[in-house]
Structure 1
Amino acid sequence: MDDALPPANGADRVAFHALRFITRLCDALGVALLVAILGLIVMAVLARDVLNWGMPWTEEVVSLMAIYAVALGSISAWVRSDHLVVDLFSHRLNGAGLQVQHRVTALISCGFFVLAAWGAWIMAGVSVNNNTVSLGISFSYLYYAVLGSFISMAVIAAWQTLRGPVAWHVEPHAQETTP
C-alpha cells in the first residue's frame, strides 16, 4: 500500500490516506512497544544478575505490552491484507467473480470480528476484579487491546464489504510472477 498511488479524488482518496495513516501509526506504535519490551527484559535481567534486585513486575508489563503490540500489528496486517490466506481459485475468477468473492470474504470476516469483539467485551467485563499479582493491573486491560483490534478490523472489513476491491490494493495473486 505504501508504493501505491492514491486515487485522484473522492471518497477513495480519503480512505486511501486514512488507511495508510492507520497502518503507519499501528506499525510505529507496535515497533515502539517491541523495543520497549526488549528494553524491559534487558533491564530486568541486568537488575537481577548484576544488582541482585528483583523486578517481578516486568513480566506483567511485558505481557501487557506484547498483547497491545500484537493487536496493533493485526490491524496493520488487516489493512494491508497480510494475514495468511489460502487462495485456491481467486486467480481463475473474472472481474464479477472477484467482486463477489472479495465482498463475501469481507462480510464473513466482519461477522467474525464482531463476534470476537463481543467475546473480548464480555471477558473484559468478567475480569474487572481479576488483577495481576505484582502491580494489581486488571486483566480487563488485556482484553481491551483485543477488543480494540477486533473493532478496528470489523470497521475496515465492513468498509471492504461495501466498497469492494480497490484499485490501489494489490491482491496476493497479482504479485505472483508467471514463469
Structure 2
Amino acid sequence: MAACLAVMAAAVFVNVVLRYGFGSGVAASEELSRLLFVWMVFIGATAAYPRGEHMAFTSFLLPLRSRPRALMLMAAVIRAAVVLAASLVAWGAWQQVRVGMDSQSVVLGYSSALLPLPALLSSLAIALMALWQLLRAAPLDLSHDLEVE
C-alpha cells in the first residue's frame, strides 16, 4: 500500500508541476494513479478484515453479550452474510476481468482486466477468511464498545 501511495503521489505531483509550471503534463500519470489507487484500496480492505477494522455495528451486538449462544448464532449469521456478499462481489469482478481481458488502457496499454482484478482478489480473500472464521466458530470481537459505530 505504501508503494502504491508513494508512486501515485509522485506521479500526481509531477503532473501538477508540469501542467501549471510548464503547460504540459504526463498523460500516463492519470491512468497510473487511477490503477494504483484501485489496488491500494483493495489491498487495504483485505488487510483490514482480519484485524476487525471494517465498519461494525457493535451497538446492536452489545446487548447479546450476556447471551453467549445468541451471540455465537449472530456471529455465524454475520460471517455467512460476509461470505455471500464477498462471493457476489467476486462474481461481478470476475465478469469485469473477463470483459477487460479483450481491451487495453488508452495511454499505458495495460490490460483493462487489471482494474477489476484487485476487487476479485480482495473479495475472494475476505470470503475465505470469513469462511474460516465461520468454520472455526470464532467469537466476534466486541472491543469497540467505547465507540458508537
Q: Secondary structure at the match of 2:103?
A: coil
Partner of 2:3: 32
Indicate which of 140, 146, 149 corresponds to 1:176. 146
CA offsets 1:103-123 (integer angstroms, 9 cap, x no match) = 110011101111110111111
Match of 2:109 among 109, 114, 136: 136
Report the TM-score, using the length of structure 2 for normalisation: 0.87
1:72 aligns with 2:43: yes
The partner residue of 1:85 within 31, 56, 72 is: 56
Distance 1:129 1:162 in 2: 38
The answer to whether the aligner puts 1:165 opposite 2:143 as a matched pair is no
Query: Could you tell me which of 109, 128, 140 is aligned with 1:155?
Result: 128
Q: Which amino acid aligns with 1:152?
A: A
User: Which residue type is aligned with residue 76 of structure 1?
Assistant: A
CA distance in structure 2 between the partners assigned to 1:172 and 1:148 by the alignment: 28
User: Do residues 101 (structure 1) and 74 (structure 2) align?
Assistant: yes
For the aligned residues, what is the CA RMSD?
1.9
Deviation at 1:156, TM superposition (A): 0.4
Query: Does the 8 Å CA contact 2:52/2:141 hold for their aligned counterparts?
Result: no
What SS is found at the alignment partner of 2:116? Answer: helix
- Looking at structure 2, the residues matched to 172 and 125 of structure 1 have their Cα atoms a distance apart, in angstroms, of 41
User: Gaps spanning 5+ residues in structure 2: where?
Assistant: none
The Cα of 1:52 is off from its aligned counterpart by 4.3
Kept after mapping to 1: 8 A contact 2:61/2:71: yes
Which residue type is aligned with residue 176 of structure 1? L
CA shift at 1:145, angstroms?
Answer: 0.8
| In structure 1, C-alpha distance between the alignment counterparts of 2:29 and 2:126, rounded to whole Å | 30
Q: Kindly tell me the number of residue pairs found equivalent between the two proteins.
A: 145
User: Is 60-69 or 41-50 further displaced after alignment?
Assistant: 41-50
How far did residue 79 of structure 1 move? 1.2
- Take 1:88 and 1:176, find their aligned partners in 2: how far apart are those partners? 10
Q: In 2, distance between residues paired with 1:82 and 1:152?
A: 15
